[in-house]
Structure 1
Amino acid sequence: MSGKSILVVEDNLETRELLAYNLKNAGYAVRLAGDGLKALELATRARPDLVLLDVMLPGGMDGLEICRRLKQDERTRGVPVIMLTALGDEVDRIVGLELGAEDYVPKPFSPRELLLRIKAVLRRSGSAAAAAEDGFREAGLVIDFAAHSVSVDGEAVALTSTEHKVLRELVRSKGRVLQRERLLDTVWDTDFDGTSRTVDTHMRRLRAKLGPYAEWVETVRGVGYRFKPLPIPAKEPQHR
């Protein structure tokens, strides 16, 4: 038994029961919701390990809106989300990933493929969460969140408290796009009257301090930012 809990949000009764059957047989604890309000209530009452979320839902709150709310809520923001989308509906898939969903599965889906996707997402999210709590180390970039320290190629870099918070949000969501609005909500106080320019200004300062790793903080035009480590070209040996 996996011991992991999955919240299934699907309005079609037949599909919901099929999902529950396969997930329970795979050892997952399953909770079911047929609409957005019920889904948010269940997710905040007892945090699931993963949310399986249909895009098309009744009641005026679709899956994309639920995903947005889950990722903005401190209680559920770290819960991985897999979107169930109509076959060929590329727009929903792109928007879902931009909102923070970890993966998507088109309908009609293969139960075996779905279980493999769920297993992979849970494995990645578990590793990323554990790593983000401690810090990050790759190539010459070393981040220790507990000690509030950052070094670039062995040289200590002084970051402000806000820059540390921004960097932590990026690392915790490595590979996923963070909207400017979400960064404003999570990094700055709720009473802070800032704009997207505030985020952009801090990103420029952060990049300047990261030196050769500045490009790891990627701008996603019209949406926000993503932490995406890239290969660093090897330095050419100096000839005397």
Structure 2
Amino acid sequence: MPERKKILCIEDDADTRDLLIEELEEAGFQVDGFGDGASALAALASDRPDLILCDIDLPELSGLEILRSIPEIGPAFRAIPFIFLTAYGQRENVIAARRLGCDEYIVKPIDFELLIETIQNRIARSAGRAVPVTNVHLTDREVEVLTWSARGKSSTDIAVLLKVSERTVNFHVDNAIRKLDVATRIQAAVKAALLGLIVP
């Protein structure tokens, strides 16, 4: 039996999110649902999806901001098909999404038959996308601190776990951020996981 493809579904309306999960799981997909962009991006570090399905109007980070952050996280993340499913059908929103590199832009109300066909098509087309080889090298300690960061641990928690000072933890986190060419600890953990440098 083939492995079920994973979809990361980002939708802040709980009823819509539950309906999407129900319909997509019935169609044979494995679905992880999130109500905000920050939680969804953090989840990428531990479970890389085959496709991202995202609303535009979200708390904390908008769908456009999530899509804009993809190049900062890494090339492996950029290879994941990204579909907007939104009530915003205005031309300027579609243009902004296309400029940022979304693969599809679907306007609500949801036509589930069309949505499922689109998802299946996009996942099939992405199967041949190569994940680039990385030349980034992390030290054992950097791998440790990023792994624990990906699991939601703070610098204080990690210091206790590794029996080092919090300053030492932050030093290794900063080094990893610099090597991975990202701006934040979460982005570093996500990028490292997608490049196969850590296993959260």
Give the TM-score band, short-chain normalised. Answer: 0.5 to 0.7
Using the alignment, how far apart are the partners of 1:79 and 1:11 within structure 2? 21
Percentage of pairs with the same residue = 37
Cα offset, 1:2, TM superposition: 5.6
Q: Does 1:123 align with 2:124?
A: yes
Using the alignment, how far apart are the partners of 2:111 and 2:88 within structure 1? 13
Normalised to the residue count of structure 1, the TM-score between the two structures is 0.51
Q: Does 1:65 align with 2:87?
A: no
Using the alignment, how far apart are the partners of 1:76 and 1:29 within structure 2? 18
* Other structure's SS at 1:23 match: helix
1:41 is aligned to: 42
Q: Measured at CA, do residues 106 and 2 of structure 1 come closer, stay the same or move farther in structure 2, by a change above 3 Å?
A: farther
Using the alignment, how far apart are the partners of 1:73 and 1:29 within structure 2? 23
Cα offset, 1:70, TM superposition: 2.5
Using the alignment, how far apart are the partners of 1:72 and 1:190 within structure 2? 8
**1:178-232, Cα deviation, whole Å (9 max, x unpaired):** xxxxxxxxxxx959xxxxxxxxxxxxxxxxxxxxxxxxxxxxxxxxxxxxxxxxx
Residue type at the aligned position of 1:68: R
Q: Measured at CA, do residues 105 and 48 of structure 1 come closer, stay the same or move farther in structure 2, by a change above 3 Å?
A: same
Cα offset, 1:87, TM superposition: 4.9
* Other structure's SS at 2:12 match: coil
Residue type at the aligned position of 1:39: A
Cα offset, 1:124, TM superposition: 1.5
**1:121-149, Cα deviation, whole Å (9 max, x unpaired):** 1111113x05x87xxxxxxxxxxxxxxxx
1:54 is aligned to: 55
Using the alignment, how far apart are the partners of 1:66 and 1:87 within structure 2? 16
2:9 is aligned to: 8
Structure 2 stretches lacking a partner, 5+ long: 133-179, 183-200
* Other structure's SS at 1:11 match: coil
1:86 is aligned to: 87
Give the conservation status (yes or no) of the 8 Å contact 2:56–2:88: no
* Other structure's SS at 1:55 match: coil
Cα offset, 1:96, TM superposition: 1.2
* Other structure's SS at 1:108 match: coil
RMSD of equivalent CA atoms = 2.1
Using the alignment, how far apart are the partners of 1:85 and 1:20 within structure 2? 16
Equivalent residue pairs, number: 133
Using the alignment, how far apart are the partners of 1:2 and 1:102 within structure 2? 23
Greater Cα offset, 13-22 or 83-92: 83-92
Residue type at the aligned position of 1:30: V
Rg comparison, structure with higher value: 1
Residue type at the aligned position of 2:122: V
Cα offset, 1:72, TM superposition: 3.0
Give the conservation status (yes or no) of the 8 Å contact 2:36–2:58: yes
Matches within 5 A, 1:39-188: 39-59=40-60, 61-74=61-74, 75-127=76-128, 129-130=129-130
Give the conservation status (yes or no) of the 8 Å contact 1:86–1:107: yes
Using the alignment, how far apart are the partners of 1:190 and 1:9 within structure 2? 26
Normalised to the residue count of structure 2, the TM-score between the two structures is 0.61
Using the alignment, how far apart are the partners of 2:44 and 2:95 within structure 1? 23
Q: Higher relative contact order at CA 8 Å, sep ≥6: structure 1 or structure 2? A: 2
More strand by share: 1
Q: Measured at CA, do residues 44 and 89 of structure 1 come closer, stay the same or move farther in structure 2, by a change above 3 Å?
A: farther
* Other structure's SS at 2:45 match: helix
Using the alignment, how far apart are the partners of 1:117 and 1:40 within structure 2? 23
